[in-house]
Amino acid sequence: MSSLFDKTTGALGSAMNHRLMRHNLTSANIANAETPGYKAKKIDFEQQLSRALDLEEFPRMDSTSPGHFPIARGAIERVTPDVYDNPDVNLTNDKNSVDLEREMATLAENSILYKATVELIKKKLGAMKYAASEGGR
C-alpha cells in the first residue's frame, strides 16, 4: 500500500512540530531570564531526524522496547527531541543560566527555519494540487 505523502513530507511535518517545541522552550527561557535559579533549556532533534530519514528506506522492523532507536519505516514519526539543561551558558550571581542575547538569536533563527519549512510544505501540496487538478489534461 502506498502513502499519499512521501518521506520528505513526513520529515517536514516532524520538523515543524519540533521547531514549534523549540520556539516554546526558547520563549520559556526568555520569560524566565530574571528568575533566580532558572536553568536554561535546550532542545535538539536535527541529528535524530536526519538519521530517521536515512532509515526510512529500509523495510519495516519492530523494536522490542520503546527505548530502542527508531528503525525503518515510521522512524520519522517516532523521532523524539532531546531536551536538557543548556551547558553552553554561564551562571549569573543569582544562579540563572539564561543568556538573553543567545536566546533571542535562537528564537529568530528558529522562526526563519519554521517559515522555510512551511513554504516547502506549501510547495509540495501545491504540486499535489496541480497533479490532481491539471495533471490529467
Q: With a cut of 70, list the residues of the chain below it in pLDDT.
A: 1-5, 50, 52-79, 135-137
So where are the chain's domains? Answer: 7-45+81-133
Pairing of strands 82-85, 41-44: antiparallel
Question: What proportion of the chain, given as a percentage, has pLDDT over 70?
Answer: 70
pLDDT of residue 78: 64
Question: What proportion of the chain, given as a percentage, has pLDDT over 90?
Answer: 31
pLDDT of residue 127: 84
Quote the pTM value.
0.71
Question: Angle 7-31/100-133 helices, nearest 10 degrees?
Answer: 150
